[in-house]
Amino acid sequence: MSKIKVSHEVPLCLLDESLNFNDYDYVLPHLLENKEYFNFFSKAKKEGRYIVMDNSVHELGTPLDTAQLLKWIDVLEPDEFIVPDYFFDMTKSIVSAKEWSKIVIPEKTNKVAVVQATSIEEAIQCYQIYKDLGYKKIAFSYSAEYYTELSMHPNKNLGKALGRIFVVSALFELGIINKTDRVHLLGCCVPQEFAWYKDMPFIESIDTSNPIMAAIDGMEYGSTGLINKPKSKIDEVLNIDINGINLRMLNHNIEMFRKINNL
């Protein structure tokens, strides 16, 4: 299996340190108005770091508006851009992907579409339509409610992890996802989920702030990870002072994330 690239979103005080543990830099465009945040990614671009730009739907509830997204795409020219998607709304996400497939952005920037669905049948349909639209890389979110219906696990966090594993596995088994496809996994409820993708060579990249937020919340990874999701979100802790973070726990969680997932 080829090496899966991992990036953990961090507060401002850890941006420089993140260069030591992130395989690439994951930018949330709604935060780029912050000068310190912008300067970090501007420098990363100049230094040739691999940059993936989100659309900020997870943080804002709806994607950042098109004008703002295009502005930051032109400024940073990220290697990948996750086109606007809409929570649990397959139709609206497909319409957006179709519109963005026609929008001209820098040639070096590859567009990524996110599967949004309320059932595995919708997930199959959504994934296939994205491929038909020409998307070379497709992402799966961690938060779809139907994941828990598929897994039926009493712990909702574990249930969503198991549900996403089931959906991705099923699409692979059905031939909807091919070995040569490129898939990104957005976020997670529990960090140990990624160990179950071991035999899936199409998983190319992961982004999750889980080990960082867990440390900020005082949650230390055990030998098998966690059973609950940290409550803190990046917007809430963006300006946290480094003295407010248990750095021993932070480093432990980052190291354990890779260890428990064989990354």
CATH domain 5-209 topology: TIM Barrel (3.20.20)
Instruction: Please state whether beta strands 80-82 and 25-27 pair in parallel, antiparallel, or not at all (unpaired).
Output: unpaired
Residue that is written with structure tokens 């070379």 in the block? 136
CA trace torsion 63, 67, 72, 78 (10° rounding): 70
pLDDT (tens digit, 0 to 9) for every residue of the chain, 263 residues total? 458 999 999 999 999 999 999 999 999 999 999 999 999 999 999 999 999 999 999 999 999 999 999 999 999 999 999 999 999 999 999 999 999 999 999 999 999 999 999 999 999 999 999 999 999 999 999 999 999 999 999 999 999 999 999 999 999 999 999 999 999 999 999 999 999 999 999 999 999 999 999 999 999 999 999 999 999 999 999 999 999 999 999 999 999 999 999 99
C-beta of residue 83 within 8 angstroms of C-beta of residue 97:
yes
Q: Which two tokens stand for residue 103?
A: 């929008």
Q: How far apart are CA 164 and CA 142, in angstroms?
A: 7
Q: How far apart are CA 187 and CA 161, in angstroms?
A: 10
